[in-house]
Amino acid sequence: MDKQYPAHILKCHPMMGTNIIKANNTLLSSAAGKELIDFESGIWCAALGHNPDRLNGVIVDQLQYVSHLNTRLVSDLAEKLAVDLLELVSFKQGKAVFLSSGSEAVEMAITLARLATDKPKMLSFSNSYLSAYSHMTMPRKTAAWLELDLTQCNRCPRKDCYSECPIVRDIDFSQIAAFVLEPGNSGGRVLLPTAQLVEYLADNVQNDGGKVVVNEVTTGFGRTGKWFGYNHYNLQPDLISMGKALGNGYPISAVVMTRDIAATVESQGFKYAQSHQNDPLGCRIAAEVIQIFKDDNIIQRSEQLGSFFVKQLRKIENPLIKEVRGRGMMIAIELNCPALAEEVFQQLYDQGFYVGCLPYASVVRFYPALTIEQRHIVDVCQALTGILNNLTKDSGSHE
Assess if residue 49 is contained within a domain: no
Assess if residue 46 is contained within a domain: no
pLDDT beyond 80 at 1: no
Mean pLDDT across 43-50: 97
Positions of E strands within the chain: 20-24, 27-30, 35-38, 95-99, 121-125, 145-148, 176-181, 211-215, 239-242, 253-257, 321-327, 330-335, 353-354, 356-358, 363-366
Domain boundary among 295, 322, 338: 295
Note the pLDDT tens digit of each residue in 128-164: 778 766 445 444 566 788 888 877 766 666 666 666 6
Mean pLDDT across 174-201: 92
Distance from C-alpha of 78 to C-alpha of 98, rounded to nearest angstrom: 8
Q: Is the dihedral of CA 82, 87, 89, 91 positive or negative?
A: positive
Same domain, 137 and 281: yes
Same domain, 305 and 290: no
Q: How many residues are listed for the chain in this entry?
A: 399
- pTM, to two decimals: 0.94
Assess if residue 48 is contained within a domain: no
pLDDT beyond 60 at 314: yes
Note the pLDDT tens digit of each residue in 234-269: 999 999 999 999 999 999 999 999 999 999 999 999
CATH code, domain carrying 323: 3.90.1150.10
Same domain, 319 and 367: yes
Same domain, 305 and 291: no
Same domain, 78 and 145: yes
Domain boundary among 229, 260, 295: 295
Same domain, 211 and 324: no
Q: For the packed helices 53-63 and 280-295, what is the interaxial angle rounded to 10 degrees?
A: 150
Same domain, 96 and 245: yes
pLDDT beyond 60 at 179: yes
What pLDDT does residue 161 have?
61
Task: For residue 292, give Cα distances in angstroms to 42, 137, 360.
Answer: 19, 34, 37
What pLDDT does residue 397 have?
46
Task: For residue 259, give Cα distances in angstroms to 174, 291, 304, 313.
Answer: 22, 24, 35, 44
Mean pLDDT across 208-230: 98
CATH code, domain carrying 240: 3.40.640.10
- Mean predicted lDDT score pLDDT of the chain: 92
Order across the sheet with 353-354: list the strands: 20-24, 27-30, 35-38, 353-354
More confident position, 308 or 148: 308
More confident position, 76 or 118: 76
Assess if residue 313 is contained within a domain: yes
Same domain, 308 and 202: no
What pLDDT does residue 12 have?
86
Assess if residue 208 is contained within a domain: yes
Number of domains present in the structure of the chain: 2
Mean pLDDT across 95-100: 98
Same domain, 205 and 334: no
Same domain, 288 and 315: no
Q: Residue 338: pLDDT band by 50, 70, 90 thresholds?
A: confident
Strand partners, 37: 27, 353
Domain boundary among 272, 295, 318: 295
pLDDT beyond 90 at 377: yes
What pLDDT does residue 337 have?
86
Residues above pLDDT 70, as percent of the chain? 92
Same domain, 283 and 246: yes
Angle, CA of 54, 43 and 139, to the nearest 5°: 140
For residue 229, the enclosing domain spans 54-295
Whether residue 302 contacts residue 374, with contact meaning beta carbons closer than 8 Å, is answered with: no
pLDDT beyond 80 at 4: no
Same domain, 201 and 241: yes
